[in-house]
Structure 1
């Protein structure tokens, strides 16, 4: 299995998000997420399961044998994931400066 992240720096998220993961099980999905280097990536596939290698960090697994750390998911089928707020700040970062004004 291609694990895209270590469990280092794992950010706990609202446990209600597991309901979203459960709804996505066995469905084709498009997931936007931050990779280990902080780059925005996307993956397509069927969600086959989720797991926790250390009873702390949680991963979702696609049928493409790709594991994505749940706390790094920006969107799952267009619905905001645990990392959406971080992405929103990342995407709007240039709007916080005065651009030389």
Structure 2
């Protein structure tokens, strides 16, 4: 499991707050930045099937947002840097950020 990049801290905090407020019975079992995007696994066994589907869609929104959020600075103009498996904006890429 990889650590969460500094540029994603706001994204992850927003996700965790949403989970705490909207789904207090759900626990995060895994959260990582493997392969250049956010991976989230939760224990949603206390939810009804419809609730699980809604939660999955909400989590997927954060995963999708991670695909364009710079891992270094958190800007929304990040892009996948191919084989390096990182998402950085052009400015941070120029500075050779260690994402």
TM over 0.5: no
Q: TM-score, normalized by length of structure 1?
A: 0.30
Give the structure-2-normalised TM-score.
0.30
More strand by share: 1
Q: Which has the higher helix share?
A: 2
